[in-house]
Amino acid sequence: MTSRTSSHFTLRRLTLMVGAALALCSTAALAEVKAKIGHAMPESHPQAAAMNKFAELATAYTKGNVKVQAYHGGSLGSDEKQLQAVQSGTQELYIGTLAPLSTRVKEVQVWDLPFMFQNEKEVYAVLDGASSKAIFQKIEPAGLVGLTWTGMGFRNLSNSKRSVNKLEDVAGLKIRVMANPVALDTWKTIGANAVPMAFAEVFPALEIKALDGQENPLVHMYSNKMQEVQKFISVTNHVYTPVALVASKKFWDTLSPADQAGIQKAATEAGLLQRKLLDEGDNDVVAKFKAAGVTMNTVSPAELARIQEKVKPVVAKFAPIIGEDFVKGFYAEIDKARAAK
């Protein structure tokens, strides 16, 4: 072999090696994906801790291929805006209420029907059951992939006017409610002046007395400093609010099956952690409210039965809208969990 031929062979070999190295770097760069998960809760809320854990686990379970960062406190926008961003693919992941989808996916409204559950055990059985899986299937055409359901807690009533001990005490109170038709009808039927409003606007509205009260889970209230603008909390447990961790389908479809499995595993584990943290938080939040000067009372079972009777027409009105068969199946899952005590 001549020196010229040898030099040409060496140059060609070097070119191939450099090309291969560049290809490997390019593949690695493509494999490493950055993903945002956003939600409305502040960093002091158990959901923030659970989402930090999700980000850590997702990165670990995908072996660094997907690097997830959590954004708390609505820094990426309201629930509605974040859901829209996830649907369009400009945000990869979201955890929160699916209520903004309720006009498109009627089954989402089932969670807003009042007085369905007696305890968290029943809730968690339904969250892990067929009805919740069916809702995830229903949201797929909206560009969303459901990963896991987790808890947010039973909703209770706070206000700045008076303790609510009976049905009549609600009359005339200007209460912020979630912007969905079931919640609006429920509170109007009870006698409140129901005002739909984005949660980010609630604290300032309470501060300037544009609202008298709001209804949310206790841990949610405390983390969002409701004790600074509300004098009374009445424990009613009228509705349980779940949240869903969902991915953008556009983002999801770019992932390998292995990375999808890693993110799914991380979501499941983080969802279970959130349930645990919320259950633990409920144990001491009442004492914290009392220490902050909030007057707390628990509405009696007899009075709750009166309220439940009052809102039966709301359930009857919305069951056909949500889907009679779906609602029956949902209640059947609750009954099954209740019977398993």
Distance between CA 159 and CA 214 in Å, rounded?
Answer: 7
Distance between CA 248 and CA 252 in Å, rounded?
Answer: 6
Domains belonging to the chain, first-starting first, are: 32-339 (3.40.190.170)
Tell me what the mean pLDDT of segment 170-190 comes to. Answer: 94
Instruction: Quickly state the pLDDT bin for 18 (edges 50, 70, 90).
Output: very low
Instruction: Quickly state the pLDDT bin for 29 (edges 50, 70, 90).
Output: very low
145 or 102, greater pLDDT: 145
Tell me what the mean pLDDT of segment 214-222 comes to. Answer: 95
**155 close to 240: Cβ distance less than 8 angstroms:** yes
Integer CA distances (angstroms), 273 to 50, 168, 236, 252, in order = 6, 39, 25, 23
Which pLDDT value is given to residue 280? 87
For the segment 89-134, what is each residue's pLDDT rounded down to a tens digit? 999 999 998 888 888 899 999 999 999 999 999 999 999 999 999 9
